[in-house]
Amino acid sequence: MANFALDVTRLGFSALQAISPDLAGRAAFQLFCRTPSAKPKGAKAKAAHAAGAARLSGAERFTLRLVGGRQAHAYRLNGGARGKRKRYLVTHGWGSSAAYMAELVSMLAATGAEVVALDFPGHGRSGGRFLHMGLAVETIAAAEERFGAFDATIGHSFGGAALMVSAAELLPRMAPVSGERLVLIGAPSQMGWLFTDFGRMVGLRSAAQAALENEVHRATGRRLEDFDAGEAAGEIGRPVLVIHAEDDKEVSPLHARRYGAAGRAVRLFWANGFGHRRIVGAAPVLAAIAAFLDGDRDAGEAPDENIKNDAEIIPFFELPARRAAL
């Protein structure tokens, strides 16, 4: 938020929580879930979006209907009755879209696989300005119901966390996503730090902060502390490739290390130098994903071997208080 807008927001929440901490918490949850504009800002973002949209121009397009009248958008490449082939699902991060994942999508499609790429609610072509983890997992389930079981799933940032939440069946009454393998790129391993930082940013006191976190339970059926994808990574019964950069300034590499500590089924690939966003189209990353999906369980590295540099590890509580971290 810009300084003036943040000051006004803090003033509003200060007044509201003095009247009702519950109302303040509910309002904070609505603000937390408000997604950025889907229109790219800045020359680099516009160029990247245009290039991605061009790559996806030949894809089939689908609308996925969700509960409550919401909808999501899906792209499909190599679809239809063309013989037996692999089927992959690709999910994007907060404030992103399938267009920004187009290099990865194109690489997967070039193998002959059927590739489905999602625009979550509030992103890309889906419309709206609202998203939370429950809606993301519902979108993943809707994609599998529409297109059939996936052989592997690949997600960046928030999209990676949503895939892990789905695969681990952390949400009640929600069918888990299928797949023999799972790839997480720059993905957070748990969500509590985001809510803590957000509450601190807008000036919530303890009662309103508790009300904010209670809204997670109301919206998803699970409490905030239940969303621990890091612990779940070792329990889903499938190989997981975790790709992260130690210079990622939006999602700390500590999240990757938490995933890596979950068990021998989890492999780490350190893509240092590519940060949080360029990592999704980096050539070494695409090569590692292709090798992993082709059956190479050693496409990654052991948790602490062959680190390329000594980049600073940022503790959770020192991360910037911004939802763009997803």
pLDDT tens digits along 4-58: 899 999 999 999 999 999 999 999 999 999 999 999 999 999 999 999 999 999 9
**Position 81 confidence tier, pLDDT thresholds 50, 70, 90:** low
pTM as predicted: 0.90
pLDDT of residue 117 exceeding 50: yes
Distance, CA of 257 to CA of 268 (rounded, Å): 8
Q: Which of 163-177, 212-226, 300-314 has the lowest mean pLDDT?
A: 300-314
Tell me, what's the pLDDT at 301? 52
Q: What is the pLDDT of residue 300?
A: 57
Q: What does the pLDDT read at residue 296?
A: 74
- The 3-state DSSP class for residue 76 equals strand
- Dist CA 279 CA 89 (whole Å): 18
| Architecture per CATH, 44-191+227-325 | 3-Layer(aba) Sandwich (3.40)
pLDDT at 100 over 80: yes
The pLDDT > 90 percentage for the chain reads 82
pLDDT band at 68 (very low <50, low <70, confident <90, very high): confident
DSSP 319: S
Start-end of CATH 3.40.50.1820 domains in the chain: 44-191+227-325
What phi-psi label fits residue 305: left (phi over 0), alpha (psi between -120 and 50 degrees) or beta?
Answer: beta
Instruction: For residue 64, give the DSSP letter.
Output: E
Please, what is the average pLDDT of the chain?
90
Which one is predicted more confidently, 305 or 18? Answer: 18
Give yes or no for residue 312 having a pLDDT over 90. Answer: no
Residue 186 confidence (pLDDT) above 80:
yes
The Cα 13–Cα 26 span in angstroms is 11
CA atoms of 40 and 116, how far apart (whole Å): 22
